[in-house]
Structure 1
Amino acid sequence: MEMLEFTKGKKGFFQSYAVEVDVKDASNATCLYAQWMMSFLIKYETNSSDYKNATLSLSSNVTHDGSICGNDTQAALLAVQFGEGHSWSVNFTKTNETYQADFITFTYNTNDTAVFPDAKRKGPITIVVKDTMHPVQLNNVFVCHNTDSIEAENVTQFFWNLTLQAFVQNGTIGEKESRCDADTPTSAPTVLPTDANITTASTTTLSPAPTTVPKPVENPDTGNYSLKSGNKTCLLATVGLQLNVSQDKPLLININPKTTSADGTCGNTAATLRLNDGNSRFIDFTFVVKNASANVRRFYLKEVNVTLLNHINGSVILSADNNNFSKWDASLGSSYMCRKEQTLEINEGLQIHTFNLRIQPFLVKENKFSTAEDCSPEVDNFIVPIAVGAALGGLVVLVLMAYFFGHKKHRNAGYEQF
């Protein structure tokens, strides 16, 4: 008979609990061991047909029904249940020399009104995704401290501080580690300064450090993003993005389109573009259709959600949301374009600067942007003085014409007197 033990650690990312699971075989020897933290960011449709982001984390009441050791012919399974009807599991298979995770199954229950207070669809929703874990040598422990994420079907799963060994032999956890790629990066990622990752360099000379002028941050590169519904493109976006974070000191972060992936949802009245820059930064843009029942319908940007994680330990550096925008307004079936720099105020500590923007979240045809409605910086700058000048010019012409005709009439009247 298999047994399972677990303990809960300190609260971390999104108030998630660290969970330690120790699956034992019939002889009470460990056969599957895991310790990790995880959390979920879920986009769901509300009763008003809008979309919201919900955060779901492991709570203190975790159970562990269904976990099994596995063997040469049967997959091992690590399964946990938590909260109001939520569950998560991953299965492992092995060869003669390695083991690896195959599929992750995650079920979230929108009947949990504390997490999904106004969900349109009620009940359990299950997604299955392929795990990206590389094969690990048998008897090795797989370790990954950095944050990893998997995105699929409106759900982003976050994992960090992971220690795992499947198919443990003789009940003894291995001493040799196999590290994930993120724990041994070729170049250090850019992270925001926090108390946890600030270090003080030792002094090697008494000479003062030279004063340098900070190099201005250049405008970000423009990225091209798209979403598909089946084989059909349903959303197009071209934009350069720059985050302006005001914490201890202002910090500008350019989003690199070369490392940024796009995901999200398309709908008839709401659509969301979710960007993951590959450095633990996630940005969601939600668009809705207004005047949905009118003949002339328009779309606009309604909500922006930004999450910045510490790339080293997965903790939240910043999470901000503004769901009260009325930006980027254009007719449905058109695209919105603005070449000049624009600023989105998310909150007092975060702004997003956009450059070379063109967006079409609805009714994309033939994988191309439709006719654009431009924010027209040239019109903003020149149309007013041109209009004023034209009006003044017209007034001068009218005055001259009145004077000319009045003077001519007066002369003709004088001739008639002789």
Structure 2
Amino acid sequence: MGPRRSAASSRGRLLLPLLLLGVSGFFQSYAVEVDIKDASNATCLYANWMMRFLITYESNNGDYKTTTLNLSSSATHNGSVCGNDTQAALVAVQFGEGHSWSINITKNNETYQGDFMTLTYNTNDTAVFPDAKRKGPVTIFIKDPAGPVQLNTVFVCHNSFDIEAENITQIFWNVTLQAFVQNGTVSKKETRCPADRPTSAPTVPPTSANATTAPTTAAPPAPTPPKPVENPDTGNYSLKSGNKTCFLATVGLQLNVSQDKPLLININPKTTVADGACGNTTATLKLNDGNSTLIGFTFAVKNASASVQKFYLREVNVTLLNRLNGSVISSADNNNLSKWDAFLGSSYMCRKEQTLQINENVQVHTFNLWIQPFLVEANKFATAEECLADSDLNFLIPIAVGVALGFLIILVFISYIIGRRKSRTGYQSV
């Protein structure tokens, strides 16, 4: 675990208000500066930015309205952490009447990159949502579309850019961010966002009043298209009973959470901790991805009293947590599965992608799966029983080779027959 931030080792202050002239008048927004210190009081994460949110919500009379949620002058950044090679960095901000925003940032070899953002807005805030039909906190996950940034490089974006998800438009400008700061000094090397390219003209961040009004001086920069989500990295997980390994798993995991727009979340093995329990007839593997996602796999033995026994995947449950306070945002469970069956004492393998339907809104995708929940010997996988998809591939290759050889033999035979006929024709008497 990385060093934890204390009140004495970090600072966050709100800069002077920036007044922006909108279509209908002046609009106020605040900049936030977060400087996180490690245990040696050296800067490990620095961020300075401005943002606001355009949120569409349903009113009591059934109409849909768009409101603007801004950072307040009393914003705090409790829960922000430095991160390290195995733990994601986190920038977290709390503001207004129960609103919060955070972004987790992961480190990968020589780069760092935002993974996903979490926005929680509270419709009980009547100043922002005066007649909201739905009351209470609403949490939205948004995939960060920005690409990786080299370590020891600061990400800078002066012009405004927006990220849309569901009924939310996030607007950012005057952004300076560097995660995993080296030697306690923010770098002078910059990576600029597409909006800051030389061909881009400065833009004014839109408000709910001018969001649909086209600027008269210059067209705003086109938003950066989201990058396609790559397959997740493969992780190796194990459980022990005493000093003996009792559960082995190798798998890449990806969550598909369907909201108004699908959200794909790759489970990062570097930040994932395995827990669970081994038993004679049931075994459970629980994976905790950086305290925000919990995935549980429960296996059982079929016909425990039979002479020949098989195991299978019986249940999968998924829980998404609020990274700031650990509260449950959503939960999904399917305890009526019958997947990944193999003979007891062997392992199950499936290199191809598989999909587990947890409920109508949540799917778990697996890649390069190899798992053995029972009778592990010498900390090694037993002989694997392959899934049908892999078996089909293994069968198709020799079949294709056999068919090709068959055609070749037929062609040789036909050529031989033709050659013999020509030879006989040459010796016929006239």
Q: Please report the TM-score for the alignment, with normalisation by the length of structure 2.
A: 0.46
Flag the structure with larger Rg: 1
